Amino acid sequence: MSRFDFSPLYRSAIGFDRLASLMENAANNGSNGNSGYPPYNIELLSENQYRISMAVAGFARDELEITSHENTLMIKGHKTPEQQGGRNYLYQGIAERGFERRFQLADHIKVTGADLENGLLHIDLVREVPEAAKPRTISIG
Residue 137 has pLDDT above 50, yes or no: yes
Amino acid 57: pLDDT: 87
Average pLDDT, the chain: 81
Q: Residue 114 is part of a domain; what is its CATH number?
A: 2.60.40.790
Indicate whether 114 belongs to any domain.
yes
Taking only the tens place, the pLDDT of each residue in 32-86 is 445 688 999 999 999 999 999 999 988 999 999 999 998 899 999 998 666 556 6
Asked if 73 and 51 sit in the same domain, the reply is yes
What Cα–Cα distance (Å) separates residue 107 from each residue in 40, 63, 125, 127?
Answer: 22, 29, 12, 8
Same domain, 48 and 94: yes
Q: Are residues 104 and 90 part of one domain? A: yes
Domain with 84 in it: 38-133
Entry pTM: 0.70
